[in-house]
Every structure is written in C-alpha cells, then in structure tokens.
C-alpha cells in the first residue's frame, strides 16, 4: 500500500510537470504563429517563391498541437493515477508511447531536411529582394504587408536596408528608405546605414534561435518525463490488475 501510494504521488507529480511543460510549448507555438504570420503572407505575394517554404512556418501549428496534447495527457495521467484504473492507465501508457515515437520521428525529420530548408530559404531571399525592388511602393498589398512585418518585428527588408535600393519607393522619394530602417528622420541612405536595423529574416532567425535552448530543454525534459511516466503507469497498471483479479 505504501509503495502504491508513493507511485501514485510520483505519477501525479510527473503528469503535473508534463501539463506545465505542455502549456509552455503551447504558449511558444502561439508566439511563433503570431510572429510568423506576416512573413508567411509575404510569400504569397512573391511569384516564384518555393511552395515548400511556406510549410516551415507551420512549425507554430506543430508546437500548438504538441502542447495541447501534452496538456491533455497530463490531465488524464493525474486522473488515472488517482483512480488507479487499469483501463485508464493502460490507455495513458499507449498514448504516451505513441506520442514519444512521433516526437522522435519528428526530430529525425528536422535533421534530415535541414539542408533542403537552407536551400529553399536562399531561393526565397533572392525572390523576396526582387519583389521589393520591383514592387515596393507601387503594389499596395505587398507594401502594406512589408510595412506591417517590419513594424511588428522591428526589422528592415528581408536581409537589410539595401533591399530597398532601386525600388519604386526609393526612386519616388529621392533615395529615401522606409522609416523602420532608420533610428532618426529623414531615413536617408546614410541614416539607414548608421542605424544597422537587422533584416526581417535574420531577426526572425535570431528570435527562434534565442528560444531554441528553451524549446530544446523543454523537449528533453518532456522526453525523460514521458519515459518515467510510462514506467510508473505500467507498474501501477500491473498492481491494479492484480488487485482486480484477486478481488
């Protein structure tokens, strides 16, 4: 009885941590989705942009889905431990095992397709700069999307302010650059160069990389907790099954 009670407490604690970790991943996924939407819309305005690249921004949906599932699993795991239901514990074990396998497969896919992602981003950069130089200042939709993105991320162009050199906006304003590219007005070539405002792509990469350690640590922690939860849940399942047969 003492051992069973101790295992129940461990199960509740583990699943409580999984619940909190899932909530953290859910929050990060929402953050990625909100901040990536503007740049994703710009892809639709670039004629020759690789279609596969738009899928990169769906990582926000993946994080949201994983976070939501972990929140649900943490809740169900706690209920199964409290009630010591063999059916609930076995179901919990199977679902956690499937989630763990899916997470391992997803991690492998990220490493396998990383070179392809880099190649697609290089192609996107070329086409994004072309679209800026050919349409920014003339195409209201593209101009509005870029302005919204640059204001939201506090960035300038795809790579930097030089992306706007020779654009319709640059020509019509006698060599001016968007205000977000400068720290002071007027936004001339000199002021834009001195401001050193990062491009939207480097800024987005920096934001993701700055949170990569957090995401990685959370992912490793979740994997360890999932393995421990499977071990404990199966132990409780066997004890509960023996008690059910002996009753």
Q: 127 lies in a domain? A: no
pLDDT tens per residue across span 127-150: 888 989 999 999 888 898 899 889
Q: 62 lies in a domain? A: yes
Q: 76 lies in a domain? A: yes
Q: What pTM did the predictor assign?
A: 0.50
Q: Are 225 and 14 in contact (CB under 8 A)?
A: yes
> In the predicted model, is pLDDT for residue 199 greater than 80?
yes
Q: What burial letters (b/e) apply to 40-75, b meaning 16+ CB within 10 Å?
A: bbbbebbeebbeebbebbeebeebbebbebbbebbe
- State the total domains in the chain: 1
Q: 204 lies in a domain? A: no
Radius of gyration of the chain (CA): 25
Q: 225 lies in a domain? A: yes
> In the predicted model, is pLDDT for residue 168 greater than 90?
yes
Q: 154 lies in a domain? A: no
Check residue 178 and give its pLDDT.
94
Check residue 71 and give its pLDDT.
82
Q: 105 lies in a domain? A: yes
pLDDT tens per residue across span 98-129: 878 877 787 777 677 767 666 777 777 888 88
Pick from 45-49, 79-83, 202-206: least confident:
45-49
Expressed as residue numbers, the domain containing 236 is 2-117+212-246
What is the mean pLDDT of the segment spanning 76-83?
74
Highest mean pLDDT among 32-41, 197-206, 224-233: 197-206
> In the predicted model, is pLDDT for residue 56 greater than 60?
no
Between 219 and 2, name the one with better pLDDT: 219
What is the mean pLDDT of the segment spanning 60-74?
80
């Amino acid at each position: 009885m003492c051992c069973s009670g101790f295992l129940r407490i461990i199960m509740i604690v583990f699943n409580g941590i999984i619940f909190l970790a899932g909530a953290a991943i859910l929050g990060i996924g929402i953050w990625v989705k909100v901040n990536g939407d503007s740049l994703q819309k710009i892809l639709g305005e670039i004629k020759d942009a690789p279609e596969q690249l738009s899928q990169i921004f769906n990582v926000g949906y993946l994080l949201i889905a994983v976070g939501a599932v972990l929140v649900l699993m943490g809740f169900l795991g706690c209920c199964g431990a409290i009630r010591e239901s063999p059916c609930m514990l076995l179901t919990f074990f199977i679902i956690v095992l499937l989630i763990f396998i899916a997470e391992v497969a997803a991690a492998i896919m990220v490493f396998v397709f990383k070179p392809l992602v880099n190649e697609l981003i290089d192609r996107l950069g070329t086409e994004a700069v072309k679209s800026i130089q050919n349409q920014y200042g003339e195409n209201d939709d593209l101009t509005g999307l870029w302005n919204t993105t640059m204001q939201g991320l506090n960035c300038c162009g795809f790579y930097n302010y030089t992306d706007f050199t020779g654009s319709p906006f640059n020509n019509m304003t006698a060599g001016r650059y968007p205000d977000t590219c400068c720290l002071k007005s007027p936004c001339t070539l000199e002021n834009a160069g001195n401001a050193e405002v990062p491009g939207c792509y480097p800024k987005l990469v920096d934001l993701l990389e700055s949170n990569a350690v957090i995401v990685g640590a959370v992912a490793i922690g979740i994997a360890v907790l999932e393995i421990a939860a499977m071990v404990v849940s199966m132990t409780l399942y066997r004890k509960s099954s023996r008690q059910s047969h002996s009753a």
